[in-house]
Amino acid sequence: MNKKIFLIAGTEDGRKLAEFLNERGFDVTASVVSDYGRKLLETCAGVKINDRPLERDDLKKILRDGNFDCLVDASHPYAQNVSTNAVDAVNAAQILYVRYERATIDFDYEKIFPVDSYEAAARKAAELGKNIFLTTGSRNLKIFVDLLKGCNVTARVLPTAEVLAHCEALGLSPKQIVAVQGAFSVAFNVEMFKHAGADVVVTKNSGQIGGTDTKLAAAKILNLPVVMINRPKIEYPNCAATFDDILKFIGNEE
């Protein structure tokens, strides 16, 4: 019998990982929390999909009732609560946990200012400029809106109705919202930062697949300071940097 894998697939590489494991004979159930994520996974023939938000107890129950052999956590590098809940759930279910952790970006630029929280990022950005370009998504946008009252904020977010409604509810005007999906080239980022009149860029070290490299390259061309939010520090029981590394933990069914 093929091993049953519960995959937390909150990212593009999570979707690719679902395909990778499914093609190698694993019984994969992929969990997402958005309609957009579901639509991406629906193209993966053979992959079961859970689109119901799972709190810690919900995840414990689904792992127990589904008789899963392993949980692979491919959630976003900054989804700290998701990973913490996943570790607790696998401990309760007594099954294997493997974290897929995409590589960070190392970039030689003296105007990168690392911080450890969204709040610290807002405060640092306000010190560095008046026009602040946010590339941190919509989930923590309220923190920046609340702390940057005296600044002009431009937020680059996904172009979904839910996200746009959230931006409008926070009081952002259409001029402050850049609703577009990446990935973005260096040249595109340069023009976008210039068009917004950015004094400072705020981002996360989400790796190459998250476009961190092209954001930093564009900022360097324009000589813009970058506030970089560090990844949360989590002790993962097992961590893999590549899809093949994941197979070393869970075993290849071919």
pTM confidence score: 0.79
Residue 33 near residue 50 (C-beta atoms within 8 A): no
Query: For tokens 């590489």, what's the residue?
Result: 13
DSSP bridge partners of 7: 30, 72
Q: Which two tokens stand for residue 175?
A: 């001029």
- Please give the domain boundaries of the chain with CATH numbers for all domains: 4-101+233-250 (3.40.50.720), 112-229 (3.40.50.2000)
pLDDT at 188 over 90: yes
> Coil, strand, or helix at residue 153?
strand
Residues with Cβ within 8 Å of 107's Cβ and at least 6 positions away in sequence, in order, are: 212, 213, 216, 217, 220
pLDDT at 254 over 50: no
The pLDDT score that the predictor gives to residue 37 is 62
Q: Which two tokens stand for residue 217?
A: 């390259």
CA 253 to chain centroid, in Å, comes to 29
Amino acid at 145: V
Winning range, highest mean pLDDT, from 23-27, 105-109, 181-185: 23-27
Mean pLDDT of 166-193: 94
Mean pLDDT of 184-188: 95
User: Residue 188 and residue 214: Cα distance in Å, rounded?
Assistant: 9
Q: What is the pLDDT of residues 115-148, one digit of tens each?
A: 999 999 999 999 999 999 999 989 899 999 999 9
Residue 207: pLDDT band (50, 70, 90) is: confident
Can you list the alpha helix ranges (DSSP code H) found in the chain?
12-23, 35-41, 56-65, 80-93, 118-128, 141-147, 161-169, 186-195, 212-222, 243-250
Cα dist from 100 to 8, 156, 205, 232, 246, whole Å: 10, 26, 15, 15, 7
User: Residue 72 and residue 115: Cα distance in Å, rounded?
Assistant: 28
Residue 187 near residue 168 (C-beta atoms within 8 A): no
The pLDDT score that the predictor gives to residue 253 is 44
DSSP bridge partners of 48: 29
The pLDDT score that the predictor gives to residue 170 is 96
Mean pLDDT of 210-224: 92
Q: What is the pLDDT of residues 33-66, one digit of tens each?
A: 766 666 666 667 788 888 887 788 889 999 988 8
User: Residue 7 and residue 21: Cα distance in Å, rounded?
Assistant: 10
Mean pLDDT of 61-81: 89
Could you tell me which of 111, 89, 93 has the C-alpha nearest to residue 203?
A: 111
Mean pLDDT of 64-85: 89
Query: For tokens 């990973």, what's the residue?
Result: 83
Query: For tokens 């994520």, what's the residue?
Result: 37
pLDDT at 238 over 80: yes
Share of the chain above pLDDT 90, in %: 59
> Coil, strand, or helix at residue 138?
coil
Share of the chain above pLDDT 70, in %: 93
> Coil, strand, or helix at residue 83?
helix
The pLDDT score that the predictor gives to residue 101 is 86
CA dihedral 193, 198, 204, 205 (to 10 degrees): 60
